[in-house]
């Protein structure tokens, strides 16, 4: 084992991290608005929205009060045999913002919300006497979580290849981002070919559902869909009587500029999952919503055993429900979606400055999301590489410029808290430019 391995004395094992690269981790001891404060008193603007979920910053009075109020009443009671007012009112709110949806199943994180969507889909077909429909059709580079079910459906090769043998079979339609489509193929032709492949798969009689991220793939490379792509897939699902499952865990709740992305995409699903920003980044919670048609297929006599066999200890946690209720009220009260549209214009306008930097190959963006693909050669599009991970190098350089940044492989993802001010958005872009320029000049030395 190399000498520097195991230098870090902490007992914490960090996610998606080569632990030997880090002597120690920057310790965050506080948060104020959009800023993170570390144990040495330095401030960093949170360009990652604390893993894509923070909405209002880190000290939103109304959200903290909602937690305090609810914790005095009851922090957690079970939804097994019982209900509580916060779960009831949140379900009503979620249904009211989600056209065509009528029922809500709560869980603790995005991965479980998607697992629930898959279980509902499989059992739905059993309930309606078509048990042969068990397969999921998906796009490559989709991401739906890190559990085995979600890895099977949303295979991102770089993340999951080690576990492939243990995954279940799905039908994966090849799908690349616009920067990496096959050479000599126009983007229009590429999308047409993809839709043709999807249609062919959906015509099989063993398909339970088509599953995709709504509006864009994020973890698999920040791939923003072209107009009509998602709605055309939705129409194909209807044509072949296949369920259409949308994952809005990272792209809903305003990340791409709409409260519910499938309304912007004109593609109503049969099942949709929300997570991340639903609780503004304060407490873990997710939800799986279905249409009335799907829900009704689960009804029957107890002895039919048609009910959904799924539930977690913290399903419908009262604190999280209270936070989500308060969060949705704040979206409305502050007209957050209109504000996002304005702030995101700064981001799109200024991304041109980033594009000029020599190590930037491509930038893909929508709403409050941008993926900056880093390359060592703009002509050959060869991904930028260091002996250390690109993430480690970018994080260190960004920290010195007062911003918290993270990459997915060689893609720097800008995902600021949604309520970020225009001034802070400019600071984030300035910090990103300084970071990339400092990396470039170090490479030249």
Which residues belong to the annotated binding site for pyridoxal 5'-phosphate? Answer: 110-111, 247, 312-313
Q: Choose the binding region for ligand PLP from 13-21, 86-94, 212-220, 423-431 (rule: CB under 6 A).
A: 212-220
User: Per-residue x/- mask for ligand PLP, residues 138 to 177, rule CB under 6 A?
Assistant: -----xxx--------------------------------
Q: Is 219 an interacting residue with respect to ligand PLP (CB under 6 A)?
A: yes
Distance (Å, rounded) from C-alpha 22 to C-alpha 7?
Answer: 8
Site string for ligand PLP, 220-249 (x = CB under 6 A): ---------------------------x-x
DSSP lists the bridge partners of residue 224 as: 216
- Within positions 77 to 116, which residues make up the interface with ligand PLP, using CB under 6 A? 109-111, 114
Question: Considering beta carbons, is residue 121 or 249 the nearer one to ligand PLP?
Answer: 249
> Three-state SS for 102?
coil
Q: Give SS3 for 77.
A: coil
Contact range with ligand PLP by CB under 6 A, out of 62-70, 137-145, 259-267, 401-409? 137-145
What is the pairing mode between strands 403-404 and 43-46? parallel
CA distances to 74, 109, 305, 434 from 71, in Å: 5, 21, 36, 43
Binding-site sequence positions: 110-111, 143, 247, 276, 311-313, 406
Q: Give me 254's structure tokens.
A: 């305003």
What is the rounded CA–CA span in Å between residue 152 and residue 150?
A: 5
Q: Which of residues 249-268 bind ligand PLP (CB under 6 A)?
A: 249-250
Q: How far apart are CA 288 and CA 312, in angstroms?
A: 13
Count CA within 13 A, CB hemisphere, residue 210: 30
Least CB distance from residue 256 to ligand PLP, whole Å? Answer: 12
Residues with Cβ within 8 Å of residue 209, at least 6 apart in sequence = 118, 121, 136, 137, 237, 242, 243, 244, 245, 270, 271
Nearest distance in Å: CB 120, ligand PLP: 16
C-alpha Rg value of the chain to the nearest Å: 22
In whole angstroms, the minimum distance from the beta carbon of 249 to ligand PLP comes to 4
One residue of 257, 275, 409, 417 binding ligand PLP per CB under 6 A: 275
- Beta strands 243-247 and 271-274 are parallel
CB of 341 to ligand PLP, least distance (A): 22
* Contact (Cβ atoms closer than 8 angstroms) between residue 260 and residue 277: no
Among the listed residues 46, 115, 213, 373, the single contact to ligand PLP using CB under 6 A: 213
Q: How far is the CB of 335 from ligand PLP (least distance, A)?
A: 26
Secondary structure class of 83 (helix, strand, coil) = coil
Phi, psi of 343 (to 5 degrees): -65, -35
Total residues at interface with ligand PLP (CB under 6 A): 14
Contact status: 324 vs ligand PLP (CB under 6 A): no
Could you list the residues that contact ligand PLP (CB under 6 A)?
109-111, 114, 143-145, 213, 218-219, 247, 249-250, 275
């Amino acid at each position: 084992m190399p000498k520097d391995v195991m230098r870090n004395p902490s007992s914490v094992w960090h996610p998606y991290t080569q632990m030997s690269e880090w002597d120690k981790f920057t310790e965050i001891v506080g948060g104020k608005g959009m800023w993170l404060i570390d144990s040495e008193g330095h401030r960093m603007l949170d360009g990652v929205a604390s893993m894509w979920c923070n909405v209002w910053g880190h000290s939103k009075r109304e959200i903290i009060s909602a937690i305090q109020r609810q914790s005095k009443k009851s922090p957690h009671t079970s939804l097994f045999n019982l209900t509580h007012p916060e779960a009831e009112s949140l379900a009503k709110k979620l249904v009211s913002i989600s056209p065509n949806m009528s029922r809500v199943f709560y869980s603790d994180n995005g991965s479980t919300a998607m697992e629930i969507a898959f279980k509902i889909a499989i059992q739905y077909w059993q309930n309606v006497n078509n048990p042969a429909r068990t397969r999921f059709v998906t796009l490559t580079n989709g991401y739906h979580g890190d559990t085995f079910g979600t890895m099977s459906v949303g295979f991102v090769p770089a993340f999951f290849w080690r576990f492939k043998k243990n995954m279940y079979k799905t039908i994966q339609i090849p799908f690349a981002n616009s920067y990496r489509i096959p050479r000599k193929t126009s983007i229009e032709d590429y999308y047409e070919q993809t839709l043709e492949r999807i249609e062919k798969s959906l015509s099989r009689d063993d398909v339970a559902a088509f599953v995709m991220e709504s509006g864009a793939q994020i973890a698999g490379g920040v791939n923003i869909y072209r107009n009509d792509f998602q709605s055309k897939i939705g129409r194909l699902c209807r044509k072949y009587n296949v369920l259409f499952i949308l994952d809005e865990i990272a792209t809903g709740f305003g990340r791409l500029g709409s409260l519910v992305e499938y309304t912007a995409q004109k593609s109503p699903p049969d099942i949709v999952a929300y997570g991340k920003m639903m609780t503004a980044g304060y407490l873990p919670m997710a939800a799986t919503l279905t249409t009335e048609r799907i829900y009704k297929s689960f009804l029957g006599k107890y002895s039919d055993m048609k009910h959904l066999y799924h539930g977690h200890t913290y399903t419908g946690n009262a604190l999280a429900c209270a936070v989500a209720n308060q969060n949705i009220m704040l979206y409305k009260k502050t007209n957050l979606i209109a504000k996002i549209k304005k702030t995101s214009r700064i981001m799109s306008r200024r991304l041109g400055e980033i594009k000029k930097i020599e190590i930037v190959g491509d930038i893909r963006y929508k709403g409050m999301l941008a993926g900056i693909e880093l390359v060592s050669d703009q002509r050959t599009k060869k991904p930028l590489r260091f002996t250390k991970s690109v993430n480690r190098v970018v994080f260190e350089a960004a920290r010195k410029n007062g911003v918290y940044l993270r990459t997915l492989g060689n893609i720097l993802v800008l995902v600021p808290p949604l309520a970020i001010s225009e001034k802070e958005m400019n600071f984030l872009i300035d910090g990103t430019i300084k970071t990339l320029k400092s990396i470039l000049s170090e490479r030249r030395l």
